[in-house]
Every structure is written in structure tokens, then in C-alpha cells.
Amino acid sequence: MTNRFQVRDRFADGAQFIAGRLRPGTSGRAHAVVNPATGEEIHSYELAGTADVDAAVAAARTAFPGWAGATPAARSDALHRFAAVLSRQAEDLAYAESLQCGKPIRLTTEFDVPGTVDNTAFFAGAARHLDGVSAGEYSGDHTSYVRREPIGVVGSIAPWNYPLQMAAWKILPAVAAGNTIVLKPAEITPLTSLMFARAAQEAGIPDGVINVVSGAGPDAGERLVGHPDVAMTSFTGSTAVGRRVAGIATATVKRLHLELGGKAPFLVFDDADLEAAVHGAVAGALINGGQDCTAATRAYVQRPLYEAFVAGVAGLMETVRLGDPLDPATDLGPLISHTHRDRVAGFVDRARAHARVVTGGEAPGGDLKAGAYYRPTLVADAAQDSEIVQSEIFGPVLAVLPFDSDDEGIDLANDTPYGLAASAWSRDVYRTGRATREIRAGCVWINDHIPIISEMPHGGYRASGFGKDMSQYSFEEYTQVKHVMYDNTAVARKDWHRTIFGDRC
């Protein structure tokens, strides 16, 4: 990795991007962005206060009529240019994302950044394909058609685990559909969201269409959700904060889209390809250090394969190389912060009383001691109702439990409040078919776990939220459908007026 651009120089003007200009926040509170691999401060910036949110919403409101009135082709062209700018900046984006999150540079280079570029290209095309039922004379006497219209100013709130991709998932469908937006990234990881917004400006997307306020949840976040000029709230984050956001958004009668927590099951039937399941489980559990809402967190393995699976996963986890995120040889970086690492360790430590920590369960020492590292961890034989099986841990921790019948496996897979993603592993098409029908989650993978694509929707069932990111389905979130009905009879006294006037019609 040769890239060493100076974050402090890049964001010297501030970390609020409002009406096309970087500026400092006005909250009066400074915030440090910390490299979790070393604990060192990368940058310090002034957090957004409520006045900054108000200014950003005002900028988005001013930009709305022009952007909503642009032709789909004009918006599409701008998004195609945006994808090209992002491609050119790929190395900088990967570097900044790795630096602020501790993600291995292989992950940011091969997943976060290309995924974001592809998403941008997808929405450039999708901007010209808004769906609706065809116009027609459904009543016999009228012609009806639908208009799919933008909603207005969207207020989006994003988490720290995939800051660049979350900015893309929120911003792209909103602006492709003609909305303008104010995004609040997590205050600990604002850098790539700001770079994304500036790249949009470079691509010619008008100032004010995309604004970023880097602030804390309770003030900037709540102001954005409750703002009277914000027509829609799109939130990705924990279920606990999502509930609070939902309350504020509902009180102000806003369109609401919630992408919340997950606790994805990984269901292995006894005819599965064991090697594939073992590799899939380790990769699926450790992606982004397990800080992934769809990460494999609960493996249920049918009894005949159970011990071999446990041994295989533990052995493979022990080969994973922890290290400097900027070193291409590193498989696993630190977690997002020391506080979060300690929270993850707490779950594992409490599980020791009733379950078996097969591997991991500790922070590494030596050169990695200063970072927020935690070893890949496998916890076997925990009870289904225990905390480690039920709660979202958001770290490199996989719980594994045995099951006997297929019925039991599917019941266990469904037995948490969440429903974001799941996978089932088998060579039997009837077993996998049943899993796809009966697992209650927004995504079910068969013989794989994690891949996502721009064309397909991502979103939860149950406590994982509602609404979809990515794909054509996200236009359902970011547009409103208007029915337009024309009378074709030119008759003053319509047949249906009899319901009012009776025989006097």
C-alpha cells in the first residue's frame, strides 16, 4: 500500500459537507477519529450541532426542485460520472476506510470500494427504470395511471461498520429517484462518507443534493429524524436505537425505513459438503471482524457432522492472520474500538460458565496489544436461550450447537427476534427448498453465506427492520406513488352521482 494521503489535510476545513462546502461543526464539541489498530488519533473535528443539521436540511430543500425536476436521463448521466470518479479514487477510499475502521486493506480494496462503485453504476441505470402498473381504463370511464414521485428531503443515519457502503446504500437510491439527502454517518467514522459526497460534487451532482453532517446521535441524529422539513427517515443501526428513531419519526409522520441488527443462523444438514460448510462458516463469521449485520453467528449442525464441524472450524480459525490492516497479508484487523472489543469479550467471558470456548476467547498480545484486536472465537454447546446465542455480539465470535431432526434445525434457526439473513447447507434440493421457504429472514443463502449484489434487495424481517436497500426494490422506499385519474366521458352527471342524488341524477 503506497497511499499515505494526510487525513488532517483532506478535512482541514471541517467534517460537515453542506451545500457543497466542507465546514466545521458548530456544536462546540471536538471529536477524535481513532485508528483502532493503534489507538492513535487520525483526526479531530468539530461535531455537527443542531444548527448544522438545520443548515444541511435547508440546503437539501433548496436543491430539491431542480434535482427532482431533472430528467431521469440527466440523473442517470450524473450517477454514471459519479461511478467513474469513485473508480479513480478507489485507492484513497480503500485506504481511508481501512484507517478509520481497522478493516484489512484486502477487504476494502476487493469488497467495500468495488461494491460501492458497482452500486453507483447500478443506480445510474436504475434511475431510468421506475416501475408502475400500466395506464389503463380500469373503471371503464376513466384513464388511470401512476406517477412515482420523489418524497423530498431524506434524512439518513448510518452505522460505523461499513461507512462507505452504507453511505452508498442510503444516498444512491434516494438521489436516483430525485430526492435530496442529508446523511449522518456514525461520528467515529465520517471520513469516507465525506469523500463519497465530495466525489459526487466532482461528478457534477449539484450542491445541496447530497449533504453530510458528522455528529452524535442524541443531538444531530435526533434533530435530523425529527426535523419538520425532512420527509423520510432511513436508518441503519442497532435495533435499540432503531426503536427510538422510529418513535421520533412516527411522531412527525415520516416515511420510515429501518435496517437493524441481525443474528444470522448457519444451518448445516447432515448431507452437507463439510469442507464447504467449514470454510463458509469461518469466512461468514469473520467477515469485517464479525461486525456485519448478516455475519454467521449461530451455526446449527446436524448431529452426525457436529464434532467434525467444530474441529474443522476451530482449526481453520487458528490459521487466520491478525495484523496491521494496511498490510495486504492481514486476514483480520482490530474491532472498531477498544470499548467494543471489551464488550465482545464480555459476551464470551460470561458464556464460559455454561459453554465451551473451543478456540480464541482472548485479545492477542505482542505487537497487537495496543490495538482493539480479538481472536477468532468458537463457542460450542451453549444453550439456545443463552445470551451468546440470542444477542447480537458484532465480533468474530461464532456459537455452534447441534440439532437432530430437520424440523428442529429450522425451528432453532427461527428462534431469535431477528430476521435479517440466514444460510442453509445441504446437497438435497428438497431440504434447501424447505429452508428457503420456512426461515424467516430477508435473505437466505444456500451453500454460501455473505455475498450481496446490487441487483438484489437487502433488508430485514421482524426485529431486523423493514424496507430494502439496493436493487430496484429500494425505489419503493424512496418514492411515493400517486394515482392520477382522468374522466373520459365528458358527462356532467356521472353514473356514480346516483349514490348522492338518487333519481334526481
Cα–Cα distance measured from residue 264 to residue 267, given in angstroms and rounded to the nearest whole number: 10
Q: Check binding of 418 to ligand NAD (CB under 6 A).
A: no
Residue 443 annotated as catalytic:
no
> Near ligand NAD by CB under 6 A, which window of 27-35, 132-140, 233-241, 360-368?
233-241
Length of the chain, in residues: 505
Among 45, 122, 160, 475, which residue interacts with ligand NAD (rule: CB under 6 A)? 160
Using rule CB under 6 A, residue 48 touches ligand NAD: no
Which C-beta is closer to ligand NAD: that of 76 or that of 464? Answer: 464
Convert residues 363-382 into a mask of x (bound to ligand NAD by CB under 6 A) and - (unbound).
--------------------
Nine cell digits for residue 497: 352521482
State in angstroms the smallest separation of the CB of 500 from ligand NAD: 48
Q: Which of 157, 197, 372, 410 binds ligand NAD (CB under 6 A)?
A: 157
SS3 assignment for 351-409: HCCCCEEEECCCCCCHHHCCCCCCCCEEEECCCCCCHHHHCCCCCCEEEEEEECCHHHH
Check residue 397 for interaction with ligand NAD (CB under 6 A).
Answer: no
Catalytic residue at 293? yes
DSSP H or E segment with residue 142:
strand 142-150
- In one-letter notation, the amino acid at residue 293 is C
Tell me the Ramachandran region of residue 499: left when phi exceeds 0, alpha when psi lies from -120 to 50, beta otherwise.
alpha
For the bound state, the minimum distance from the C-beta of residue 452 to ligand NAD, rounded and expressed in Å, comes to 10
Q: Phi, psi at residue 371, to the nearest 5°?
A: -90, 175
Residue 392 binding ligand NAD, by CB under 6 A: yes
Q: Is 41 exposed, middle or buried (0-12, 13-18, 19+ CB in 10 A)?
A: exposed
Q: Tell me: does residue 191 bind ligand NAD (CB under 6 A).
A: no
Interface residue with ligand NAD among 126, 186, 256, 379 (CB under 6 A) is 186
Q: Cα-Cα-Cα-Cα dihedral of 442, 447, 452, 453, to 10°? A: -110
CB 198, CB 23: distance < 8 Å? no
In whole angstroms, how close is the CB of 236 to ligand NAD at the nearest point?
A: 5
Subset of 65-94 contacting ligand NAD (CB under 6 A): none
For position 394 contacting ligand NAD by CB under 6 A, the verdict is yes
Nearer to ligand NAD, 218 or 328 (CB): 218
Kindly tell me which of 351 and 443 has the beta carbon lying closer to ligand NAD.
443
- Tell me the window of 82-90, 102-110, 182-190, 448-456 that interacts with ligand NAD (CB under 6 A): 182-190
CB of 227 vs ligand NAD, minimal distance in Å: 12
DSSP character string of 425-438: E-S-HHHHHHHHHH
Please report whether residue 222 would count as binding ligand NAD according to CB under 6 A: yes
Site for ligand NAD in 452-471 (CB under 6 A): 460, 464-465
Residues 248-267 that bind ligand NAD (CB under 6 A): 259-262
Establish if 184 lies at the interface with ligand NAD (CB under 6 A): yes
Residue 221 in the binding site for ligand NAD (CB under 6 A)? yes
Q: Could you give the CA distance from residue 403 to residue 215 in angstroms, rounded to a whole number?
A: 46
Size of the site for ligand NAD (CB under 6 A): 31
Would you count residue 238 as binding ligand NAD (CB under 6 A)?
Answer: yes
> According to the binding rule CB under 6 A, does residue 106 interact with ligand NAD?
no
Q: Is 161 in the site for ligand NAD (CB under 6 A)?
A: yes
What is 224-246 written as a DSSP string? Answer: HHH-TT--EEEEES-HHHHHHHH
* Residue 234 C-beta: closest distance to ligand NAD, Å: 11
Report which residue type is found at 503.
D
Contact 434, 410 (CB under 8 A): yes
Q: How far is the CB of 21 from ligand NAD (least distance, A)?
A: 22
Does residue 244 interact with ligand NAD by CB under 6 A?
A: yes
* Measured distance between the N- and C-terminal CA atoms of the chain, rounded to whole angstroms: 81
The residue nearest ligand NAD at its CB is 217
50 near ligand NAD (CB under 6 A): no
Coil, strand or helix: which one is 152?
A: coil
Interface map 292-321 toward ligand NAD (x if CB under 6 A) = -x----------------------------
> How far apart are CB 410 and ligand NAD at their closest, in Å?
22
Please report whether residue 420 would count as binding ligand NAD according to CB under 6 A: yes
15: left (phi over 0), alpha (psi -120 to 50) or beta: alpha
Among residues 130, 245, 282, 424, which is the contact residue for ligand NAD, using CB under 6 A? 245
Q: What is the secondary structure of 255-285 as a DSSP string? A: EEEEE----EEEEE-TTS-HHHHHHHHHHHH
Q: Could you give the CA distance from residue 472 to residue 445 in angstroms, rounded to a whole number?
A: 20
Cα gap 239→159, rounded to integer Å: 12
CB of 289 to ligand NAD, least distance (A): 12
Quick one: CA torsion of 22, 24, 25, 30, rounded to 10 degrees? 130
Q: Which residues are marked as active site?
A: 259, 293
List residues binding ligand NAD (CB under 6 A): 157-161, 184, 186-187, 216-218, 221-222, 225, 236-238, 241, 244-245, 259-262, 293, 392, 394, 420, 460, 464-465
